[in-house]
Structure formats: structure tokens, C-alpha cells
Amino acid sequence: MNLDQLICFYNDFAPDSVARFPEFYSADAYFKDPFNEVRGIAAIQRIFTHMFGQVAEPRFVVTEKVVDQHGAMLVWEFYFRVRLWGKGKAQVMRGVSHLRFDAEGKVNYHRDYWDTGEELYMKLPGLGTLMRGLRRVLAA
């Protein structure tokens, strides 16, 4: 598998893309983000299927890649609208995916790093006001 093909997979990600995970991920691949920790393609597919149910107009944009012989780091932006908020304004979350590959070149380790406080909670009605206030109190 070519890393550029994986980047295209995510940049063009759509609901029908979920079925394509076996092209890029090993059968026992590990995935972790701030809300999930799973192993196996079926479990990873459930996470992304759930994402499509929770957000409207989801779109990944990989903006940078760092590669070495053991894996890669992908810097990305995730654009979306929260269905619960109706037709609210578009949101963006920024994060990084740490990837490792097996002998066949498939992803066998995928860990996403992103700041849930800044990228999600501060944007929520109610909780966001509290988080922004706390941030002002704690800032130097």
C-alpha cells in the first residue's frame, strides 16, 4: 500500500468508503481516538459509520505527512456540521494520526490525537461557555 493512496482514501472519504478499510488496514488493526479504543476492521468500520450518523458533511483534509521506516504521522483537518445543532455553522477540528504498518504495508496501528477541550467541548452550547471561562481564568 502506498501512503499517498491512503491519504486520498481519507481526503475522499464518504459513507461508501467504510467498506474499503480492508484495502488499507490489516484484519487485526488497532485504532484509538479520544472516545474509542478498538481492534479489528469491523470495529473500526463501526466507528466511522457512527461518525456519518452523527455529523453532516464530514470531510477530512490531510495537510501534512511525516514518514519514516516505521510509520507515518498525518496532520489533518476534519470539517463537519453537528446534526444535533441543525444547520449550524461548519466546524473544524485539527489533529494528527500516528500510523504504523505491517509487513504487507497495511495499517496495523492508528492512533488519533486531538484536543477534545479546544476542538470540541469549547464549541458546544452551554459547556463551551464554561470551558472558555475556565480557560480565561487559567491563562497566564
- Asked if residue 112 lies in contact with residue 33, where contact means CB atoms within 8 angstroms, the answer is yes
Query: Which of the 8 DSSP states describes residue 89?
Result: P
- CA dihedral (60, 61, 66, 69) in degrees, to 10, reads 50
Task: Output the CA angle 9-69-106, nearest 5 degrees.
Answer: 35
All domains of the chain, ordered by start, with CATH? 3-114 (3.10.450.50)
Report the alpha-carbon angle 13-14-16, nearest 5.
120
- DSSP letter for 35, please: S
- Taking only the tens place, the pLDDT of each residue in 89-105 is 788 899 999 999 999 99
pLDDT single digits (tens) 11-68:
999 999 999 999 999 999 999 999 999 999 999 999 999 999 888 899 999 999 999 9
Handedness of CA 21, 66, 62, 125 (dihedral sign): positive
Query: For residue 134, what pLDDT band results from cuts at 50, 70 and 90?
Result: low
Helices (H) and strands (E) in the chain, counts: 5, 6
Residue among 60, 124, 129 nearest 97 (CA): 60
Report pLDDT digits (tens) over 69-86. 889 999 999 998 876 655
